[in-house]
Amino acid sequence: MQVLLGKPSDRRYGALMLDQDIDDIHPLFHGAPQTTEFKKLRKRIVRYTREAVEQYGMVERREDGSVPKWLVCLSGGKDSYTLLAVLYELKWRGLLPVDLLACNLDQGQPGFPATVLPEFLEKMGVPHRIEYQDTYSIVMDKVPQGRTYCALCSRLRRGNLYRIAREEGCSAVVLGHHRDDILETFFMNLFHGGRLATMPPKLVNEEGDLFVFRPLAHVAEADCEKFARSMNYPIIPCDLCGSQDGLQRQQVKQIIDTWESNSPGRRQVMFRALMNARPSHLLDPKLFDFAGLALKNFEDVTESEEIPQLR
């Protein structure tokens, strides 16, 4: 059963509470800028995240009354820091009735600053689990020279996160993918995969025992960047496995950047299109029964009524 996060009056109250000093929320917000620009940024991220959580039914009411537990995956990048902070804000405001467990998977990349996240999470008082699994060596051994590491690395990481979620009694693995990640994945599939698909905000894993959520689905990458930088979170670079020029995702990002530069707002228009699919106007017979289409009152059509012919 989907949970609407608060009664209408509660939601209005929650909106009013957004003007409260955010230093009072959680140590994650201590020292936050008090500028009007930052407050607007924070409100926008909170609003979009809350909309995604409600729209895609990420919080479900359990018959036994227990509270769901989410495994919040923390890489040390700007997106995952933003995810962690906004989930704690929603929880603090009584708008997210779940328990949160932050998790970092140290995959053994050379130069990875292994102490940064544990020290940060301890300082912030965030319940967490740090897991070490040397998947980096496996990837380096299995992937031929000159090929990109991302696909295999991602599969190994996801498998370990599922295992950790089960061990910790979590019902969901929560990832920090944002609007731009989802849009880029769509074009990756379009250009290179020959399919219309992207990363959904909510799915069930292949085993059927865990949800995968992306609460930042409506949040722009630029907003994550501004938020994490403004909060001075200890951001860990995402290029520890080495620079791989010519990555398809980077090429797609550059294409979208060019479109956005030439037509500001293009990203959001394209993203809205992903939420406005019309199966009858595509070509997939598995999604729409084209063969079953028939004219109404065909026998009443007269000779004067021309029927369009295919050419």
- Mean pLDDT value across the chain: 87
Q: Confidence band (pLDDT; 50, 70, 90) for 111?
A: confident
Cβ neighbors of 296 (< 8 A, separation 6 or more) are none
Sign of the CA dihedral 205, 83, 41, 224?
Answer: negative
Q: What is the DSSP secondary structure assignment for residue 29, as one 8-state letter? A: G
Residue 229 to residue 110: CA distance in whole angstroms = 24
Give the list of residues 6+ apart from residue 290 with CB closer than 8 angstroms, or none: none
83-96 mean pLDDT? 96
Q: What is the C-alpha separation between 257 and 264, in angstroms, rounded? A: 10
129: Cβ contacts below 8 Å, ≥ 6 apart: 101, 102, 103, 104, 164, 168
Average pLDDT over every residue of 252-262 = 95
Please state the pTM of the whole predicted model: 0.85
**% of the chain exceeding 70 in pLDDT:** 85
- The confidence score (pLDDT) of residue 240 equals 53
- Given this model, what pLDDT does residue 37 score? 97
- pLDDT in the model for residue 290: 95
Phi/psi at 61 (5° precision): -85, 130
Residue range 278-305: average pLDDT?
A: 81
Is pLDDT at 288 greater than 90 in this prediction? yes
Q: Which residues of 110-124 are buried (b: 16+ CB within 10 A; e: fewer)?
A: eebeeeebeebbeeb
pLDDT for residue 307 is more than 60: no
Average pLDDT over residues 183-193: 93
Task: Provide the pLDDT for residue 14.
Answer: 46
For the chain, the maximum distance between any two Cα atoms, rounded to a whole number of angstroms, is 81
Q: Is the pLDDT confidence value at 246 over 70?
A: no
